[in-house]
Amino acid sequence: LERLAILLQELSGQPTDLQAMHRNFHAIKDREDYRLVGAWIDGELVGSLLGILCTDLVGDGRPFMVLENVVVSRSHHRRGIGRALLEHIEAQCRRDRCSYAMFVSGAQRTEAHAFYESIGYGTDAVQGFKKVFTPMDFQG
């Protein structure tokens, strides 16, 4: 988890609270709807993603997968690691008969966007919206 915290800091630019990370990891580690996937090279965690299988009420009720925290260490870009991570989670999506997988990506991550498009993820189907809550929102 400590190495994952380093990767996530590369992704977000923010330090990870290790105590919260450990607590949350132990809360999800045995849940079948959470899929934490890692890529390792020579014993070092170099990439990761989190997939969350969601129940849907639309159509035939097939689930969908939300992907979060998709990251490959900058020192390991362009080696097929991101592709392997996404292919792995997509295989799980097919096994679970998901209707789709989705994620959001920061507008400034243009290199990542080109990669996502190259492996079949489109940007023209939907518009993503995100609202960030701060600790000030939790008071009162």
Closest CA to 85 of 122, 38, 29: 38
Q: What is the pLDDT of residue 128?
A: 74
Q: Partners of 34 in the beta sheet? A: 52
Q: What is the pLDDT of residue 107?
A: 66
Instruction: Give the C-alpha separation, 32 to 53, whole Å.
Output: 8
The number of residues in the chain equals 140
Q: What is the pLDDT of residue 132?
A: 78
Q: What is the pLDDT of residue 62?
A: 95
Please identify every stretch of the chain with a pLDDT value under 70, giving residue numbers as ranges: 105-107, 124-127, 140
Q: What is the pLDDT of residue 52?
A: 97
